[in-house]
Amino acid sequence: MIKIGIIRVLTTADDQLLNAHGRLIERCFPQFETISRCIPNQPEGIHDERTREIAVPKVVRLGNEMASESVKAMIISCADDPGLEELRGIVRIPVIGAGSAAAALALSLGKRIGVLTITETTPEVVRETLGNSLLTEVKPEGVSTTLDLLENENRFRLVSSASELKRRGADVILLCCTGYATIGMAQELKAKLGIPVVDPVLAAAAATWYAVTVC
Amino acid sequence: MIKIGIIRVLTTADDQLLNAHGRLIERCFPQFETISRCIPNQPEGIHDERTREIAVPKVVRLGNEMASESVKAMIISCADDPGLEELRGIVRIPVIGAGSAAAALALSLGKRIGVLTITETTPEVVRETLGNSLLTEVKPEGVSTTLDLLENENRFRLVSSASELKRRGADVILLCCTGYATIGMAQELKAKLGIPVVDPVLAAAAATWYAVTVC
């Protein structure tokens, strides 16, 4: 078993929620054993410039702690990649950000990437990684933080926004918040829309798999 | 078992060489069963504008044939992604290009990508996908086609050129010819240089895994 650290940027005392991304990864990569920890005092996760800014030093501190617990790699489970560069600069194991990994995987699957966000703007790292392949972005109505994705009555809005991306010509949909992974959105959208849908947590896991087992 | 088609752009009657990429993929993804075919009359593969141009319709024709043989996805095993767009336009299964997949995976692993080429210029799809993260590129001396990679006496030159990329500040090395996969270069370089090295065939396989098993 290969031990992987998962850094959650949503502060929660609910163990099931805390471990949701880790369990998803373990289902797809049975060779991975995950440990999830969350940064403190971010009950709404990261959803704007301020919540990102205050998260960065917390991610770096937590990542640095986890690196000493014999994990072979770490995933920053947030589409904004908070603290990714900083953490890579100080630990000696691979660190994968869900934002860059998701954008990267999308580029393998198509050329006109439609981004389903939770905020008005696509995170900079995703925007930069996609470059000219970023076709368009849509924020579902009624959603402004990752917590809103957990509300069942918002689900039809998520599906409708994703359909809108396809209608505008997207050949791949990128789920640009790891909260979409928590609610298993990728599988549902793929079945409904018939085009590839990138789950940011599994994209990060695939890159991690490469980093720790191949090269 | 999931059947995957591998399109080789190096024409060869040598079964071991023909199947080299498929076998590598099967070792890393035991759930995949691969079938490899090569396009005709390209004994030196693709190594310039002309050899690329004449390859495109051959790749499309071969891909179209293979799509009817119950493969679940296809990999165009060339860092130049010849015929990728065209083939995606006509078949209904995922088609992954080794060039875009390798560049994409590199973007998940680092920010300053050093490209080990076989020609004077990095293929356009790799250049475009990497964007500002393309740090620098090096072509090993004595190498101008994929066949030169098979010559054992060139191996020290490949290692030396990869070291040069690291010396120039690369945090990831991208092997920009699937011939580097044939000779198992990624593992050797990773062990020698201690930074991630992207094998284009395995990068394509990882994207294919996502496309056919997750979403």
Whether the complex's predicted ipTM is more than 0.90 is answered with yes
Tell me what pLDDT residue A215 has. 58
**Average pLDDT score over chain A:** 95
CB contact under 8 A, B108 and A111: no
- Give the CA dihedral A87, A92, A94, A95, nearest 10 degrees: -10
Taking only the tens place, the pLDDT of each residue in A69-110 is: 989 999 999 999 999 999 999 999 999 999 999 999 999 999
8 A C-beta contact, residue A131 and residue A112: no
Burial of A197 (0-12, 13-18, 19+ CB in 10 A): buried
Q: b vs e for B171-206, b when ≥16 Cβ sit within 10 Å of the residue's Cβ?
A: bbbbbbbbbbbbbebbebbbeebebbbbbbbbbbbb
Place of tokens 């489970």: A77
Cα distance from N-terminal residue to C-terminal residue, chain A? 17
Q: Which two tokens stand for residue B122?
A: 């990095």
CB pairs under 8 A between A and B: 107
Residues of chain B falling short of pLDDT 50: none
Check residue B50 and give left, alpha or beta (phi > 0: left; psi -120 to 50: alpha): alpha
Given pLDDT bands bounded at 50, 70 and 90, which one contains residue A121?
A: confident
B187, B207, B215 member nearest A190 (Cβ): B215
Instruction: Decide if A207 and B131 are in contact by the 8 Å CB cutoff.
Output: no
Q: What is the pTM of this model?
A: 0.95
Distance set, CA B52 to CA A5, A17, A83, A153, B49 (Å): 43, 50, 41, 51, 5
SS3 helix, strand, coil % of chain B, rounded to 5? 50, 15, 30
Classified as helix, coil or strand, A63 is helix
Containing B21, the helix (H) or strand (E) segment is helix B20-28
Which residue in the set A107, A198, A202 is minimally distant from B129, CB to CB? A107
What gap in Å lies between CA B80 and CA B176, rounded to an integer? 8
Nearest CA in chain B to A193: B215
Helices (H) and strands (E) in chain B, counts: 11, 8
Give the pLDDT mean for A59-67: 97
For residues A207 and B165, what is the distance between their CA atoms, to the nearest angstrom?
A: 22
Taking contacts as CB-CB distances below 8 angstroms, the residues of chain B near A94 are: 109, 196
